[in-house]
Structure 1
Amino acid sequence: MIQVIEEFGAYIVIAPGLALAHARPGPDVNRDGLSVVTLDDPVVFGHPHNDPVSVVIGLAVTSPEAHVSSVAELANVFNDPDAIPALAAAGDVAEVQRILTLSEEEAAR
């Protein structure tokens, strides 16, 4: 991931304060997974508009279909302008899950 960012730039920084670290499905992915990392000290990736990053989402999927649907679901979550700051301020896993679930429900309406 570091080599790819060094070569291609900060393409994983997809919105102000948000990075989505993911790769294509492949043999290194044992099962689908999602991680959310919040940073007390935001990190500068070198993106001209969306740095610094305070929330990093890690996505691992086992199939191309899961990759497309997972990215689409996350895009719906982050259509809510309050989602990134809320995640950055979340104090525990339950709060992160609540934010992601509420945003998904709102997107479905």
Structure 2
Amino acid sequence: MTLKESLKENNSVVLKQKADTWQEAIKICMAPLVKSGAVKSDYVDAIIKRTKELGPFYILAPGLAMPHERPECGVTKNSFSFITLEEPVVFDDGQQVDILIGLAAENADVHNGEAIPQIVMLFEEEDIFDKIRAAEKSEDIYKIIDNAVNS
């Protein structure tokens, strides 16, 4: 499963969204995956519940989160979503996020062996955050991913 293939297949790039709370941001992030059938709505509730218990353990860098939960919480197929917010949301620990990459992984091998390396590779580029925040449409995100893969 590549990031770009999953985003296209699930129609799951949603840019310049408005969210007032981190909970709302999680729902927006996961909505395309619920709609495509990649995850059940219980999966979204489980992410929010776990975040309230543990804090946002899935924040990867300032401004960037990869919300996800365990496969048994409602994953039906490996998939990603890619969301940007007009304004960052603030988590209970004070961290702010405006780029969310939703992850649904059927098992730990996909999570650790495929998903994480693709995200790390994408964010190695120095000005990647600016490029993502400037993106206006899905195609802009696909180009950013292609450039990261081919560099």
TM-score (norm 1): 0.82
* Deviation, structure 1 residue 47: 4.5
Alignment match, 2:121: 76
Tell me, what secondary structure is at the counterpart of 1:22?
coil
1:25 positional shift: 2.6
Q: Distance in 1 between matches of 2:134 and 2:118?
A: 21
Q: Which 10-residue stretch deviates more, 20-29 or 75-84?
A: 20-29
Identical positions, percent: 29
Distance change >3 Å, CA 104–CA 46, structure 1 → 2: farther
Describe the SS at the equivalent of 1:4.
helix
Unaligned runs of 5+ in 1: none
Alpha-carbon distance in structure 2 between the residues aligned to 1:101 and 1:23: 27
Q: In the comparison of the two structures, how many residue pairs are matched?
A: 104
Matching residue's letter, 1:28: G
Alignment of 1:1-109 (within 5 A): 1-26=47-72, 28-47=74-93, 51-68=95-112, 69-106=114-151
Give the number of the structure whose residues are more often helix, by fraction: 2
Amino acid at match of 2:109: E
Structure 2 residues not aligned, in runs of 5+: 1-46
With structure 2 as the length reference, what TM-score do the two structures score? 0.61
